[in-house]
Amino acid sequence: MSERLAALREQIDALDTQMLALLNERARCAEEVAHTKLAEDPNAKFYRPEREAQILTRMQALNAGPLRNEQITHLFREIIASCLALEESMRIAYLGPAGTFTQEATFKHFGMNVGTLPVDSIAQVFREVEAGRVRYGVVPIENSTEGVITHTLDMFTQSDLRICGEISLRIHQNLMCRHENWQGVQKVYAHAQSLAQCRYWLDKHLPHAERIPVSSNAEAARLVANDDEAAALGSRQAAPIYGLQIVQDSIEDNANNTTRFLVIGDQMVGASGNDRTSLLVSTRNRPGSLYHLLKPLAENGVDMTRIESRPSRTTNWEYFFFLDVRGHEQDKAIHDALEKLRQDAEIVRVLGSYPIAIM
Ligand SMILES: O=C(O)C(=O)C[C@]1(C(=O)O)C=C[C@@H](O)C=C1
């Protein structure tokens, strides 16, 4: 080994020693935070999404490189998750099975070592949280190319759970096989959405392979585990679970393909300074009802970023409206707009105020 290399490694060893001490000092602080919270309130919540968002935003602002903000965010998320695990060991239910993008989103947000419970429907995620068998749940809510996941919206009309956070995940599709010789595959299994997201890549590179839609990408990987002539598309997490190799990565046609997920729980989240509030509103069916619903928001200068309507299911031609606005329900503008709205609408429910997803 050259003297230069030996000296650099010595420097790295010294820095690692410092980081180790600092990490444990931080962990002891988090343990102290837990004791303090409990002393102040026996029902205190340990997971504080607003505080986590503030920490990550601050680190990004301070970051001078060469590590990219994305890497810094990932590292600090893992550090915070490890500290949170010292405060409380918790389990997260997600729309499974293992190896799906929802699992990837769960690990991204709660750290790679969090306990998880994969379940087989969005409704079941809600039920697990409602029954207290898990602390939080993670469900998909919208994809940038495929649109809103109406099943998740509908669940909020039947559940009192709140939205505690959101996770934004860049969807990278991977081609996975049992062996490296992917050019010879005859079949490509995947969820229909994943097949659609890789249509041009498949046209170009595997034009003769049959595309077979299945219930989830994890199911696709499971089928390919027993088939030398097939490939699966999906999240990189699926490969080791089903003994597959990633033979081509990031093959999605649209590089900006993103899915948004919600963290659901029974917790009110404080303001982080960069928040979103989701509302469920219903009005009597009369002329101008949508106008009356939106007027208080506009008059108070509340920035509405989305509106979705869903049939009420109990009365024909009556609708629930799902609205997203920028800001926190405690902000004066939103608070005042909600007061006004409540005078007019049948139902006005705040589904949650939560930090806007960070990277
Ligand atoms: O500040 C808190 O409330 C903590 O519990 C500490 C901490 C952290 O490690 O920084 C851990 C978990 C919370 O979700 C937020 C922050």
Nearest CA to ligand 1 atom 8: 80
C-alpha 227 – ligand 1 centre gap (Å): 46
C-alpha 26 – ligand 1 centre gap (Å): 10
Give strand pairing partners of 170: 258
- CATH architecture, domain defined by 177-248: 3-Layer(aba) Sandwich (3.40)
Q: Token digits for 357?
A: 């997803």
Q: Show pLDDT as tens, one digit a residue, over the chain (359 residues).
A: 899 999 999 999 999 999 999 999 999 999 999 999 999 999 999 999 999 999 999 999 999 999 999 999 999 999 999 999 999 999 999 998 898 899 999 999 999 999 999 998 999 999 999 999 999 999 999 988 778 888 999 999 999 999 999 999 999 999 999 999 899 999 999 998 899 999 999 999 999 999 999 988 999 999 999 999 999 999 998 999 999 999 999 999 988 889 999 999 999 999 999 999 999 999 877 778 888 889 999 999 999 999 999 888 776 667 899 999 999 999 999 999 999 999 988 899 999 999 999 98
- In this structure, the residues whose C-beta lies within 6 A of any atom of ligand 1 are 30, 33, 46-48, 51-52, 55, 80, 83-84, 87
The ipTM assigned to this model is: 0.99
Nearest CA to ligand 1 atom 9: 80
Topology (CATH level 3) of domain 275-355: Alpha-Beta Plaits (3.30.70)
Collapsing DSSP states into helix, strand and coil, what is residue 336?
helix
Give the Cβ contact number of residue 266 at 10 Å. Answer: 14
Domain with CATH 1.20.59.10 in the chain: 1-86
C-alpha 92 – ligand 1 centre gap (Å): 17
Nearest CA to ligand 1 atom 6: 30
C-alpha 359 – ligand 1 centre gap (Å): 19
Domain with CATH 3.40.190.10 in the chain: 90-171+257-267, 177-248
Topology (CATH level 3) of domain 1-86: Chorismate Mutase Domain, subunit A (1.20.59)
Domain with CATH 3.30.70.260 in the chain: 275-355
Phi, psi of 176 (to 5 degrees): -125, 135
* Neighbour-count burial of 113, counting CB atoms closer than 10 A to its CB (0-12 exposed, 13-18 middle, 19+ buried): exposed
Nearest CA to ligand 1 atom 1: 51
C-alpha 44 – ligand 1 centre gap (Å): 12
Phi, psi of 310 (to 5 degrees): -135, 140
C-alpha 46 – ligand 1 centre gap (Å): 7
- What's the pTM? 0.92
- CA distances (Å), 230 to each of 175, 216, 233, in order? 10, 16, 10
Nearest atom within ligand 1 for CA of residue 46: 5
C-alpha 138 – ligand 1 centre gap (Å): 20
Instruction: Give me the CATH code for the 90-171+257-267 domain, please.
Output: 3.40.190.10
Give the Cβ contact number of residue 280 at 10 Å. Answer: 17
Nearest atom within ligand 1 for CA of residue 79: 9
Nearest atom within ligand 1 for CA of residue 83: 9
Give 233's contacts (C-beta < 8 A, 6+ positions apart).
Answer: 173, 174, 175, 176, 188, 189, 190, 191, 194, 195, 198, 217, 220, 251
- Under DSSP, the state recorded for 184 is G
- CA distances (Å), 52 to each of 38, 55, 297, in order? 19, 5, 29
> What is the spatial distance between Cα 164 and Cα 301, in angstroms, rounded to a whole number?
24
